[in-house]
Amino acid sequence: MIIAVIGNSSCSPEEAKLAESVGELLAQRGATVICGGLGGVMEAACRGAKSQGGLTVGILPGQDSSAANPWVDIPVVTGIGEARNIAVVKSARAVIAVGGSYGTLSEIAYALKGNIPVIGLNTWSLSRDGQDDDSIIKAGSAEDAVDKAVSLAKRHRSHEIASLRSQ
Amino acid sequence: MIIAVIGNSSCSPEEAKLAESVGELLAQRGATVICGGLGGVMEAACRGAKSQGGLTVGILPGQDSSAANPWVDIPVVTGIGEARNIAVVKSARAVIAVGGSYGTLSEIAYALKGNIPVIGLNTWSLSRDGQDDDSIIKAGSAEDAVDKAVSLAKRHRSHEIASLRSQ
Amino acid sequence: MIIAVIGNSSCSPEEAKLAESVGELLAQRGATVICGGLGGVMEAACRGAKSQGGLTVGILPGQDSSAANPWVDIPVVTGIGEARNIAVVKSARAVIAVGGSYGTLSEIAYALKGNIPVIGLNTWSLSRDGQDDDSIIKAGSAEDAVDKAVSLAKRHRSHEIASLRSQ
Amino acid sequence: MIIAVIGNSSCSPEEAKLAESVGELLAQRGATVICGGLGGVMEAACRGAKSQGGLTVGILPGQDSSAANPWVDIPVVTGIGEARNIAVVKSARAVIAVGGSYGTLSEIAYALKGNIPVIGLNTWSLSRDGQDDDSIIKAGSAEDAVDKAVSLAKRHRSHEIASLRSQ
């Protein structure tokens, strides 16, 4: 089960701590962590996952694997810049957003468009034409976020299998 | 001057009317309309622009130019799916969003990340970690949206030139 | 009718002259020239097309339209690096290669994979597992290349229409 | 060390056997196999790698991880179609081509443009403007291909480190 962790390449110490906990807990639950491969939230999540023996994948925007943070096991060098954001979320069964700016928002948008569940920790809230959009599922802690992500990732998978069977 | 019009590939009659007016007014101001090339808001904006003799560019997601709506002059066939959203907004000096769902949200996010002004007509509102993000400039009508887009597109350009000169 | 001209961003004076003639002749035949938007062969083809009042489209790899050569009418800013090569050829009904290195080879490959005719002027030759692959149609002059491209582009289109009709 | 294996999604039994051997030998040498994630040569290489306990990464063109062959450990879902070819080779320190058609040719082109060594087994030969281009290193067997790829991948890395040190 692959779960994405998304957020800024530079982040506050509190966000780094949250992201590291998320990475640790995902690894403990047997999930592979996928992210954008760079610093900040991405690095913290990878560091957390590696501390628990997890596997980490970094989908890099640039031309060179040397841009990957040191905790990325599998650096995927795309060369397609920020368009790589779509690959980060589409590869995952669920997405956990920790803080984040506009790059993270683009990833949230692509995930929601693809019916991939998004769990948010201190991240964006959306409303459209005056009405709240509650698609981003709020979590109160790293534990809560990982619980929700893992549970939704499993359901997401079952749903897919069910829909395949009914074809 | 290239200005993007973004929104859903299927839309309400009201949104279509708004987008068509936006296209007309942009063409009257001499702007080239760029969009995702498909139906709904994209088609309405192109139809409006063509009714005023404007030029229209459609950045298509798929493999074939035949998916372009009939009002696209220059169909660009990218073959990169929804990742083409980034090219729609990065090619523009300003972006006008008419309604829109998650695909539009990804375009808004990419535009804001690239410091490209976004003007919104009945579209998304954003807040981050409990604080409103007012980066999407609200417009009350097609005229208002086009006025703001053209004015910001010119300023955006001047700013670029200024920053190039100071290097 | 959109026709692509592909080749190096730095080129010999002979290649520039060839590419400029190709651009002139394409514009005289009413074709829109699409290319990668940068210097060398791309710039020469655009300059030739503009000298005859043609329309030019540049599919740029980077983040900024300022990288476009001065003869590009419609700079499309993709932000996806060399992956933009696929959009250059997929947007065209035929492709003319003038010289070219590995970037050009990737474009030739994508065009042939997509059944888009490729006409070559002093460009790559291919063989596979010891057998010549004659898919790149050799041309002896700019005139010959443009004649072949325009003729194949029309046939390509008719074929498409025919195959649509038979569905 | 990540090494790419590229080739057709449908292939002859001989090519499948070659690709499977390549995958086995790469895994024995401790290399991670990256590929386009689909059938044919890609599937055979992954199957070979998994038979020796190796790790496999599939860079998928479409929207869904279910398109991955059953021997892919890490399916990366890009959603960018054939533009994902660039990510397959740029993520690797060396590339082994087994047979292959135009998609494979685009990957070879991107690898050579990025100075990533390409080893060929019954694959494309190139000449440019009448002169042979010997950039694709011929191999006579799966063993020979893997020997050359691993050796060049190490040199490639040392070279990078050397060039980083000299900056």
Burial class (CB in 10 A: 0-12, 13-18, 19+), D63: middle
Closest-CA residue of chain D to A57: D74
Q: Are C20 and C49 in contact (CB under 8 A)?
A: no
Residues of A with CB under 8 A from a CB of B: 80-83, 86, 99-103, 105-106, 108-110, 112-113, 122-130
Which comes out higher in pLDDT, residue B121 or C160?
A: B121
Give chain D's length: 167
pLDDT at C8 over 90: yes
pLDDT at C54: 98
Q: What is the pLDDT of residues A80-95, one digit of tens each?
A: 999 999 999 999 999 9
Average pLDDT over residues D64-68: 96
CB–CB contact D76 A76 (8 Å):
yes
pLDDT at C160: 54
pLDDT at A164 over 50: no
pLDDT at A130: 85
pLDDT at B165 over 60: no
pLDDT range class, residue A129, cuts 50, 70, 90: confident
Q: What is the pLDDT of residues B69-98, one digit of tens each?
A: 999 999 999 999 999 999 999 999 999 999
- Phi, psi (degrees; rounded to nearest 5) at A85: -55, -35
CB–CB contact D102 C122 (8 Å):
no
Percentage, residues of chain C above pLDDT 90? 91
Residue D55: half-sphere exposure toward Cβ, Cα within 13 Å: 12
pLDDT at B102 over 60: yes
Lookup result for tokens 């890609």: D42
Looking at residue D41, its amino acid is V
pLDDT at B125: 96
Q: Are C106 and C123 in contact (CB under 8 A)?
A: no
pLDDT at B116 over 60: yes
pLDDT at B130: 85
pLDDT at A53 over 80: yes
pLDDT at B151: 97
Lookup result for tokens 């599919």: C59
CA torsion, ordered D8, D9, D12, D18, to nearest 10 deg: 70
Average pLDDT over residues D33-54: 98
Average pLDDT over residues D146-156: 92
CA torsion, ordered A62, A68, A69, A75, to nearest 10 deg: 140
pLDDT range class, residue D105, cuts 50, 70, 90: very high
Closest-CA residue of chain D to B83: D80
Return d(Cα C37, Cα A36) in angstroms, integer: 29
pLDDT at A156 over 80: no
Return d(Cα C110, Cα C131) in angstroms, integer: 20
pLDDT at A87: 98
pLDDT at A67 over 60: yes
Per-residue b or e along A53-77, where b marks 16 or more CB atoms closer than 10 Å to that residue's CB: ebbbbbbbbbbebebbbebbbbbbb
Q: Which residues of B touch D82 (CB under 8 A)?
A: 79
CB–CB contact D81 B82 (8 Å):
no
pLDDT at C93: 97
pLDDT at A159 over 70: no
Q: What is the pLDDT of residues C111-162, one digit of tens each?
A: 999 999 999 999 999 999 889 999 999 999 999 999 999 999 998 665 554 5
Closest-CA residue of chain C to B65: C91
pLDDT at B155: 83
Lookup result for tokens 């890490």: D74
Averaged confidence pLDDT in chain C: 94
pLDDT at C129: 84
Average pLDDT over residues C25-31: 98
DSSP, residue by residue, chain C: -EEEEE--SS--HHHHHHHHHHHHHHHHTTPEEEE-SSSTHHHHHHHHHHHTT--EEEEESSS-GGGS-TT-SEEEE---GGGGHHHHHHT-SEEEEES--HHHHHHHHHHHHTT--EEEES-EEEEETTEEE--EEE-SSHHHHHHHHHHHHHHHHHHHHHHHHT-
pLDDT at C32 over 80: yes
pTM of the model: 0.94
pLDDT at B156: 65
CB–CB contact D126 C124 (8 Å):
yes
pLDDT at A157: 60
Return d(Cα D61, Cα D79) in angstroms, integer: 6
Q: How many CB pairs under 8 A join C and D?
A: 74
Average pLDDT over residues A26-44: 98
CB–CB contact A81 C82 (8 Å):
no
pLDDT at A57 over 90: yes
Q: How many CB pairs under 8 A join A and D?
A: 64
Alpha carbon B50 to its chain's center: 16
Best C77, C80, C106 member to test A by mutation, with max A CBs in 10 Å, is C80
Mean pLDDT lowest among A14-18, B136-140, B163-167: B163-167
Give chain B's length: 167
pLDDT at D165: 46
Which comes out higher in pLDDT, residue A60 or A129?
A: A60
ipTM of the complex: 0.93
